[in-house]
Structure formats: C-alpha cells, structure tokens
C-alpha cells in the first residue's frame, strides 16, 4: 500500500503500514518540500530565519556531474540521484544571508556524488563545489576574502559520513541508518555551510552517531509526530540532534547542530514546484508554513 505524505503534516497515524518502495514513491514526478522555522547563531547573536529542504530525484551525468537533459542519449553515463537543496535565509542587522547547499547522492545507496554551496549577502558571494570519486574528493572554493579562494582536495574515506548528507542518510529511505539503540563511530566531513560561516577549511574528523532505543511523540508547528532521535557528537566539539519521523517518508521533524543552528518543521508538501512560478502560486508556501514575502 502506497502511503502519500499529507500536504500539511498534522497528526501522524499510529496504524502500521508497509513502507512503500523507494523507486515508486520518489519517482512520482514530484518533489518533497519541507519548511522550517530557523534559528542561526551569527556574529555571536541568535538570528531568526527560515529554511526549506527540497528533495527530488533526477537523472545525473557521471562524467559532467550535472542533471541530464536527455537520459536516452548516453544511458551508460547516467545515474539516478536524490538531490537535496537545503535553503537557509536569515537576517543579520541591516543585511540578510541567502545560502543553499545542494547535495547529490546516488539513489541506490545514498553515496555522495557532488556537493555545491553558495552564499550571497551584502559583502559578496561565496561558492564551493566538491566532486566525490571512490578514493578522493576534488573541489574548488571561490570567496571574496583574500586567501580563501583555491582548490579543496581531500581523501574520500571509506565509510565516511558527510555532514551535508545527514539530512538524507538519517531518514532511512531504504532501511534504517542505525537500529534502535545502536551507536557507531564514523570518519566525518563537516558541512561546507559550517565551514563557510566558521571560516574553517574542510578537514576530516570523527563523529559518534547514536539512535534512541525508544520512539517518542513531539509537537512542532507542523503538528504532532512520532519520532526516533539521532544524536551526533562531532570531535570538533559540536553536538547534533535529529528527530526523524517514524512513519514513511521519515521526514526530518526537527534538527539542531549546537551552537550553530536549530530548525523545526512548519509544514510539508509534495509538489511539482518548478511549475509553480506564476503570480498567485505563492499561496502554495502556506502548506510549508511559510508566509510569502511582500
């Protein structure tokens, strides 16, 4: 039985359903859009903002590392990816930050293929791209700060976890990332978003990830959810907590990475958002718990 996420995530049923097949659920021609109320620490002060997580599958070129226009032209070069665009916007005094991290992972096993990051604010632009091969990560960083622009080349560690991939991996879309009560340590690559705001170069560290043994029910602006929680303890001193919806599609109900960021869901929908660009289509933002900008 195929279970479709409600346009607004209100009460979660306690009935037991067989989880849908990943490919049929995620290749329905729509994207999942999740809205969040966001709090970010910047310049030593808390900042209120909003975030949207956009999950969608698409055909992807292994050689060019971009979306394929016509998969039938060179099918041997095409892989199916799940893309997450994580948009975070927040105000800092007179000017605002507009940031996005695009994470591309292979749909078959959620291994990373590409991560790109952009930040636009009144001081300038920053852009970063990382390309993942079996044994190495190659990339480039462009900044308006002197001395920051340059290559970003790293080893790709076996069984490594990429922070930008946590919002996909912890959802367990093809099965649990960890079993209830399980704890494991992993090589860990911090987020490109965190590296930018902290002005720290990317470097591998380690993290311990533990899943709660028991489920619990919590309330957020989007409604009530039965969730499992994951605690992520990173060797750089940060601690994360991710509350994952128990029912499929296991949305991220709330997440935080102290002291940088916390977010709680305000709404959710499955939409062909790329078609909703006409005057009046702003009304669809209400399903995400987001007020359209004037």
What's the pLDDT tens digit per position in 111-139? 999 999 999 999 999 999 999 999 999 99
State the pLDDT at residue 249. Answer: 97
Q: How far apart are CA 224 and CA 4, in angstroms?
A: 17
- Asked if residue 11 is part of any domain, the answer here is no
- Predicted local distance difference test score (pLDDT) of residue 17: 56
Mean pLDDT of 153-173: 96
In a domain? residue 2 = no
In Å, how far are 104, 116, 175, 215, 257 from 261, measured between CA atoms?
A: 22, 19, 27, 24, 5
Rounded Cα gap, residues 106 and 67, in angstroms: 13
Q: Report residue 14's pLDDT band, with 50, 70 and 90 as the boundaries.
A: very low
Taking only the tens place, the pLDDT of each residue in 186-222 is 999 999 988 888 888 899 999 999 999 999 999 999 9
Domain assignment of residue 196, yes or no:
yes
Structure confidence at residue 260 (pLDDT): 85
Which residues constitute the domain of residue 170? 22-288
User: Between 246 and 13, where is the model more confident?
Assistant: 246
Q: How confident is the model at residue 1 (pLDDT cuts 50, 70, 90)?
A: very low
- CB proximity list for 56: less than 8 A, separation 6 or greater: 30, 31, 32, 82, 83
pLDDT tens digits for range 212-232? 999 999 999 999 999 999 999
Percent of the chain with pLDDT over 90: 83
3-state secondary structure of 273: helix
3-state helix, strand, coil in the chain (%, to 5): 10, 50, 40
- Residue 189 maps to a domain: yes
Three-state DSSP state, 280:
coil
Would you state the pLDDT for residue 267?
A: 98
Indicate whether 88 pLDDT > 70: yes
Question: In whole angstroms, what separates CA 271 from the centre of its chain?
Answer: 17
Confidence of residue 148 (pLDDT cuts 50, 70, 90): confident
Average pLDDT, the chain: 92
Q: Quickly state the pLDDT bin for 175 (edges 50, 70, 90).
A: very high
Q: Is 136 exposed, middle or buried (0-12, 13-18, 19+ CB in 10 A)?
A: exposed
Does the reported pTM lie above 0.75?
yes
- Measured distance CA(289)–CA(277) in Å, rounded: 18
Is the predicted pLDDT of residue 180 greater than 70, yes or no? yes
Quick: pLDDT tens for 46-83.
999 999 999 999 999 999 999 999 999 999 999 999 99
C-alpha closest to that of 116 among 84, 93, 79:
84
CA–centroid distance for 169 within its chain: 9
In a domain, 114, yes or no: yes
Q: Output the pLDDT for position 16.
A: 47
In contact, 188 and 235? CB cutoff 8 Å: yes
What's the pLDDT at 201? 86
Residue 2 has pLDDT above 80, yes or no: no
- Whole-number pLDDT of residue 95: 93
Does residue 242 fall inside a structural domain?
yes
Model confidence at 7: pLDDT above 50: no
Say which residues have a Cβ less than 8 Å from residue 157's Cβ, sequence separation at least 6.
187, 189, 204
Is 10 part of a structural domain of the chain? no
Q: How many domains would you assign to the chain?
A: 1
- Decide if pLDDT at 268 tops 90: yes
Is 48 contained in some domain?
A: yes
Per-residue model confidence (pLDDT) at position 197: 82
């Amino acid at each position: 039985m195929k279970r479709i996420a409600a346009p607004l995530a209100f009460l979660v049923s306690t009935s037991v359903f067989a989880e849908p097949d990943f490919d049929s659920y995620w290749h329905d021609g729509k994207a999942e859009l999740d809205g969040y109320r966001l709090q970010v620490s910047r310049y030593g002060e808390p900042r209120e903002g909003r975030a949207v997580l956009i999950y969608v599958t698409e055909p992807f070129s292994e050689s060019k590392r971009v979306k394929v226009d016509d998969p039938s032209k060179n099918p041997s070069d095409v892989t199916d990816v799940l893309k997450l665009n994580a948009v975070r916007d927040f105000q800092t005094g007179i000017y605002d930050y507009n940031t996005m991290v695009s994470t591309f992972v292979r749909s078959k096993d959620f291994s990373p293929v590409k991560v790109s990051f952009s930040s636009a604010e009144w001081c300038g632009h920053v852009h970063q791209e990382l390309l993942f091969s079996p044994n190495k990560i190659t990339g480039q960083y462009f900044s308006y700060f002197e001395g920051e622009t340059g290559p970003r080349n790293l080893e790709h560690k076996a069984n490594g976890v990429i922070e930008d991939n946590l919002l996909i991996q912890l959802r367990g879309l093809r099965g649990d990332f960890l079993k209830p009560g399980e704890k494991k340590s992993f090589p860990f690559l911090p987020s490109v978003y965190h590296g930018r705001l902290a002005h720290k170069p990317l470097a591998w560290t380690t993290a311990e990830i533990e899943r709660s043994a028991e489920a619990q029910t919590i309330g957020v602006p989007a409604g009530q959810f039965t969730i499992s929680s994951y605690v992520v303890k990173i060797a750089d001193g940060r601690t994360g907590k991710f509350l994952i919806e128990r029912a499929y599609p296991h949305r991220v109900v709330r997440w935080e990475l102290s002291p940088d960021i916390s977010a709680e869901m305000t709404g959710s929908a499955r939409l062909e958002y790329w078609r909703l660009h006409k005057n009046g289509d702003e009304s669809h933002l209400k399903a995400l718990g987001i007020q359209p900008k004037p």
